[in-house]
Amino acid sequence: MFDADFLRRALIAAPAIFFSLTVHEFFHAYIAYRFGDSTAKDMGRLTLNPLAHLDFFGTIMMFLSGFRFGWAKPVPVNPYNLKNPRQADLWISAAGPLSNMGLAAIFGFLFRMAYGGFLPVPQPIVEFFLIGVIINVSLAFFNLIPLFPLDGSHILRSLLPPRFGPKLDEFERFAPFVLMLLIIVGGFWIILGPFIRIFVNLFAGVAIY
């Protein structure tokens, strides 16, 4: 597994992983701030400095999973500071995956330009652009899974009527264990793989998967 090719790809991917995870968490913090909660800002999380956001195990998982999923440190949010908490939680939670899809589009554009010969860059940079697409599409879909504590669980709670709150509270007690089980058995790739392939190929402009 840890052969020369893996190490080469890991070195190329590392900047894209750090940048993508950082942007994801930055936008959570930024939207929370715009909705009235300065908790993340006060804790130094409203920044593009990767050291403020990266989680050791979540970052390592990005490498070990072949850039399919990973995570950073969650951004702290105090719901009592938010204007219109339900709407705020929806947009704060969606901001991370949406930022990753935006980055995937940018990386995809750069890859198309480089792959088509319109942007003369070394081959490792072309690979960097492509890996950037894969990382960001994967992060977006992974975080949209409606299992606590992923963004998708907050989005689901915000969209459902309040009467479903107690049921969601009960399910969220077990959700982290379901999440860990899916990670261990590789269930995420089985579920998300087809969607990730479609969007990676769409952004890259060529059939990568």
Tell me the catalytic residues: 25
Identify the CA nearest to 138 among candidates 198, 191, 69, 205: 69
Q: 11: phi > 0 → left, psi -120 to 50 → alpha, else beta; which? A: alpha
Burial class (CB in 10 A: 0-12, 13-18, 19+), 63: middle
Structure token pair of residue 33: 């701030």
Identify the CA nearest to 88 among candidates 43, 148, 154: 154
Say if residues 97 and 140 touch (Cβ distance below 8 Å). Answer: yes
Secondary structure class of 146 (helix, strand, coil) = coil
Q: What is the 3-state secondary structure (H, E, C) of 47-68?
A: CCCHHHCECHHHHHHHHHCCCC
Secondary structure class of 99 (helix, strand, coil) = helix
Please report, in angstroms and rounded to a whole number, the separation of the first and last CA atoms in the chain.
20
